[in-house]
């Protein structure tokens, strides 16, 4: 073979006890892989546990397949253990006695991914599992596995996985189950559309795209064969798969989305009856999902794929009903609005900050006059219009006014963008126009970001309701481009102007006045709360809520709003900086991968990218998150108490010029919180039990 085999006897442990929990088993298997020199134990175990935290890897049939891509792996490997004491890996039918640790190199090529997915798909077959349980020696296990992933001694560089070929019919398009013991598994039945057989398309995907993606596809295919239903799958994973064709989509009765991540090319299925779930449900209940998909196809009011509204209308669907709960849908809509709003805030806020840098702090009063009466060839009198311009230069005064004006224009889209994309998340494209208008109304009436949130939700819900109307065929094409935007804008905009905007504006004024009136203990308490929120989920909904509160207040231009922005930004910088400091002070407490992440976290933290701490928090949340929250709370409180201010919404240490001379207070607050969090991380990491270390278990 041109490259080392994925499995060898030294990677196999038969009839061993690796512990009582799946964490202990994974660490034990990582130790087995490391004992052969193929990986670094702690790094592999940490990455596999991060993946395990996203979704359990226990499967029906008493086996588990923890897996990951890891920089700690230098040779792609399969570690295998047959346990004397079965361990719970989250399967619905009980504990697992067979465990494969699929260790893929982080930079590994697609060919090794294909071989690893071959193993995952073979485990679906009962005969293969029986053979593994009856094997007497490690050599027998190696032979069984190699027959699956490396048949006839084919080297990884040339081995292939059946990923679908439209020319061979629907069975090949789904990706056949891989050969076992050299014999090809039976292909999925693929009758022609004219035979009367019902057809379902299934999209499967998991976060790593190695195992669950393909196993779910095969479980659905096998269930379809037993039920007499053509199941055409498109596994969106590591191995290349031919996408389903337009003709297959057209003849499909329904689609199944069994994914833990977004569906690539979702718009292809707009208007089709749909059943959605996580990827594990397709493994546990494939027949139930196929039955539900066919039932949705027979129900005129059943759920439909959400996508391009025009395409959905053309397909005969006036609306698409999500299967998510209303609470989850609204949460997703709010996060969508925030994510689309942030670029406006970042661009506008930084441009305004640069305007202050070039034009001086008093450019706010004269920028409009300069832009109206001056140009690049007719520069303003800096002494009169911008006495604090950089270098007292007329050119700098003009550039400052230009940048300040551009920034203000970008910030002017903050509320419309927030509301518009909330509407978009709920009703797709028809929700954008009424949402933008509702956001503009919120800005014009003083209802602020709270008004934009409410207006966006109303706009999206109204647009979705109108889209659900059953209209004549001739009118369907007009619905998404004329009727829905017109009526939804009228209803949501009218409600905002006539009923909601004024009370919300009063509430916003009360909040603003309360914020401006905060002094002493109250403003410090606000800093504590904001600091805790920024460090709680590192870029998640709670973090985003605190950031939205700060950035939305910048439009007020008040001293208190600048203080809030500084506190939020400072606290958000603490987690990555604290982990960077902790890995530098006590590297032995961290894996080699974490040490590399720690070095990168210096820059991430300095740039106000809280997500730089996520790899650490995912691997050890009970120690990392509380430690960083304490430091973030201290930083937020200290920043507020000292009076640090920031006119820029992003940029961290790179926008110190936008802090009105309070930059040293800002940096001091960060330094104190960073040191506190780093010390807590080190202390908590030092209290780990010895079992946390990955044991190097000898192969039986």
Look at residue 373 in the predicted model and tell me its pLDDT.
92
| Cα–Cα distance list, 104 to 75, 108, 591, 592, 616 (Å) | 8, 7, 17, 17, 20
Q: In which element (H, E) is residue 259 found?
A: strand 254-259
Task: Please tell me the distance from the alpha carbon of residue 292 to that of residue 321, in angstroms, as a whole number.
Answer: 15
Task: Please tell me the distance from the alpha carbon of residue 609 to that of residue 126, in angstroms, as a whole number.
Answer: 47
Q: Assess contact for 203 and 174: CB atoms under 8 A.
A: no
Q: Assess contact for 684 and 677: CB atoms under 8 A.
A: no
Q: What are phi and psi of 334, to 5 degrees?
A: -65, -45
Find the DSSP H helices in 238-302. 246-251, 279-284, 286-298
Q: Over 80: is that where the pLDDT of 473 sits?
A: no
In the residue annotation, 535 being an active-site residue is answered as no
How is 303-342 classified by DSSP, letter by letter?
-B----HHHHHHTT-S----SS-HHHHHHHHHHHHHHHHH
Q: Assess contact for 29 and 79: CB atoms under 8 A.
A: yes
Express as a percent the part of the chain with pLDDT over 70.
Answer: 81
Q: In which element (H, E) is residue 633 found?
A: helix 621-642
Task: Please tell me the distance from the alpha carbon of residue 438 to that of residue 460, in angstroms, as a whole number.
Answer: 10
Look at residue 139 in the predicted model and tell me its pLDDT.
92
**Whose CA is closest to 26, among 64, 70, 69, 71?**
64
How is 413-474 classified by DSSP, letter by letter?
THHHHHHHHHHHHHHSGGGHHHHHHHHHHHHHHT-HHHHHHHHHHHHHHHHHHHHTS---HH
Other residues' Cβ atoms within 10 Å of the Cβ of residue 332: 16
Q: Over 50: is that where the pLDDT of 111 sits?
A: no
Task: Please tell me the distance from the alpha carbon of residue 538 to that of residue 330, in angstroms, as a whole number.
Answer: 21
556-569 average pLDDT score: 86
Catalytic, out of 68, 112, 206, 212: 206
pLDDT digits (tens, 9 = 90+) for 162-213: 333 322 232 333 333 333 333 333 333 333 344 568 999 999 877 555 567 7
Task: Please tell me the distance from the alpha carbon of residue 344 to that of residue 464, in angstroms, as a whole number.
Answer: 26
Q: Rounded to 5 degrees, what angle do the CA atoms 610, 613, 617 make?
A: 130
**The length of the chain, given as a count of residues:** 700
Residue carrying structure tokens 């919404």: 649
Q: Over 60: is that where the pLDDT of 320 sits?
A: no
Look at residue 517 in the predicted model and tell me its pLDDT.
67
Look at residue 618 in the predicted model and tell me its pLDDT.
67
59-68 average pLDDT score: 85
Look at residue 541 in the predicted model and tell me its pLDDT.
65
pLDDT digits (tens, 9 = 90+) for 487-507: 999 999 999 999 998 898 888
Task: Please tell me the distance from the alpha carbon of residue 379 to that of residue 364, in angstroms, as a whole number.
Answer: 17
pLDDT digits (tens, 9 = 90+) for 651-694: 788 778 878 789 999 999 999 999 999 999 999 988 765 434 44
- In three-state form (DSSP H/G/I as H, E/B as E, the rest C), the secondary structure along 561-606 is HHHHHHHHHHHHHHHHHHHHHHHHHCHHHCCHHHHHHHHHHHHHHH
Q: What is the DSSP letter of 266?
A: G
Task: Please tell me the distance from the alpha carbon of residue 448 to that of residue 452, in angstroms, as a whole number.
Answer: 6
**Whose CA is closest to 55, among 40, 68, 37, 45?**
68
Instruction: Give the least confident one: 211-215, 454-458, 528-532, 622-626.
Output: 211-215
Torsion sign, CA atoms 454, 460, 465, 471: positive
In the residue annotation, 206 being an active-site residue is answered as yes
Half-sphere exposure (Cβ direction) of 318: Cα atoms closer than 13 Å: 20
Q: What is the DSSP letter of 479?
A: I
Q: Over 50: is that where the pLDDT of 442 sits?
A: yes
| Cα–Cα distance list, 18 to 259, 461, 513 (Å) | 31, 53, 61
Query: What global pTM score does this model have?
Result: 0.49
Helices H / strands E in the chain, number of each: 28, 10
**Whose CA is closest to 27, among 38, 14, 8, 40?**
40
504-513 average pLDDT score: 77
Q: Over 50: is that where the pLDDT of 364 sits?
A: yes
Look at residue 696 in the predicted model and tell me its pLDDT.
39
pLDDT digits (tens, 9 = 90+) for 376-413: 999 998 888 888 888 889 999 999 999 989 988 988 88
């Amino acid at each position: 073979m041109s490259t080392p085999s994925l499995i060898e006897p030294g990677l196999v442990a038969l009839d061993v006890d690796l512990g009582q929990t799946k964490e202990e088993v994974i660490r034990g298997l990582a130790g087995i892989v490391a004992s052969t020199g193929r990986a670094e134990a702690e790094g592999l175990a940490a990455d596999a546990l991060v993946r395990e935290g996203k979704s359990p890897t226990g499967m029906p049939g008493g086996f588990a397949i923890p897996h990951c891509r890891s920089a700690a792996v230098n040779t792609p490997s399969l570690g295998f253990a047959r346990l004397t004491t079965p361990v719970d890996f989250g399967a619905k039918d009980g504990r697992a006695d067979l465990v494969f640790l699929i260790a893929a190199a982080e930079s590994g090529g697609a060919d090794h991914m294909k071989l690893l997915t071959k193993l995952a798909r073979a485990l679906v077959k009962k005969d293969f599992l029986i053979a593994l349980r009856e094997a007497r020696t490690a050599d027998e296990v190696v032979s069984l596995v190699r027959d699956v992933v490396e048949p006839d001694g084919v080297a990884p560089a040339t081995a292939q996985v059946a990923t679908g070929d439209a020319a061979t019919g629907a069975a090949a398009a789904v990706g056949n189950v891989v050969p076992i013991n050299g014999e090809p598994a039976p292909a999925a039945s693929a009758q022609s559309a004219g035979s009367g057989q019902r057809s379902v398309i299934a999209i499967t995907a998991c976060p790593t795209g190695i195992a669950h993606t393909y196993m779910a596809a095969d479980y659905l295919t096998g269930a379809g064969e037993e039920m007499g239903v053509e199941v055409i799958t498109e596994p969106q994973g590591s191995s290349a798969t031919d996408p389903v064709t337009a003709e297959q989509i057209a003849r499909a009765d329904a689609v199944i989305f069994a994914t833990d991540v977004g569906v690539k090319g979702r718009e292809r299925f707009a208007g089709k009856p749909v059943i959605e779930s996580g990827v594990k449900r397709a493994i546990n209940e494939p027949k139930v999902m196929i039955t539900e998909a066919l039932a949705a196809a027979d129900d005129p009011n059943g759920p439909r794929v959400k996508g391009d509204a025009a395409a959905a209308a053309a397909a005969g669907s006036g609306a698409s009903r999500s299967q998510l709960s209303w609470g989850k849908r609204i949460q997703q809509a709010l996060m969508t609005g925030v994510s689309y709003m942030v670029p406006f805030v970042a661009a506008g806020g930084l441009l305004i900050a640069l305007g202050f840098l070039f034009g001086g702090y008093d450019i706010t009063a004269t920028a409009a006059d300069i832009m109206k009466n001056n140009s690049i060839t007719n520069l303003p009198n800096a002494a009169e219009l911008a006495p604090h311009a950089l270098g007292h230069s007329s050119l700098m005064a003009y550039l400052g006014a230009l940048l300040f004006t551009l920034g203000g224009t970008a910030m002017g889209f903050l509320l419309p963008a927030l509301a518009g994309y909330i509407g978009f998340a709920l009703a797709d494209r028809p929700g954008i126009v009424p949402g933008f208008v509702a956001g503009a109304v919120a800005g014009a009436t003083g209802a602020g970001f709270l008004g934009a949130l409410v207006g966006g939700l109303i706009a999206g819900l109204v647009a979705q309701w109108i889209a659900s109307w059953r209209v004549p065929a001739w009118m369907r094409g007009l619905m998404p481009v004329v009727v829905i935007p017109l009526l939804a804008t009228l209803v949501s905009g009218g409600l905002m102007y006539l009923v909601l905007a004024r009370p919300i504006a009063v509430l916003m004024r009360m909040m603003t006045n309360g914020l401006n009136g905060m002094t002493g203990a109250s403003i410090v308490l606000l800093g504590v709360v904001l600091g805790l929120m920024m460090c709680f989920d590192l870029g998640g909904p709670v973090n985003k809520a605190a950031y939205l509160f700060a950035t939305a207040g910048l439009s007020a231009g008040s001293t208190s709003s600048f203080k809030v922005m500084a506190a939020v930004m400072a606290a958000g910088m603490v987690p990555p900086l604290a982990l960077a400091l902790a890995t530098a002070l006590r590297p032995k407490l961290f894996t080699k991968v974490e040490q590399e992440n720690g070095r990168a976290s210096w820059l991430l933290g300095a740039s106000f990218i809280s997500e730089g701490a996520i790899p650490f928090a995912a691997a050890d949340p009970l120690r990392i998150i509380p430690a960083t929250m304490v430091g973030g709370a201290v930083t937020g409180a200290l920043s507020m108490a000292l009076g640090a201010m920031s006119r820029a919404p992003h940029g961290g240490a790179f926008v110190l010029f936008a802090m009105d001379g309070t930059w040293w207070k800002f940096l001091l607050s960060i330094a104190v919180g960073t040191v506190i969090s780093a010390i807590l991380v080190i202390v908590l990491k030092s209290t780990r039990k010895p079992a946390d270390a990955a044991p190097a278990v000898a192969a039986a």
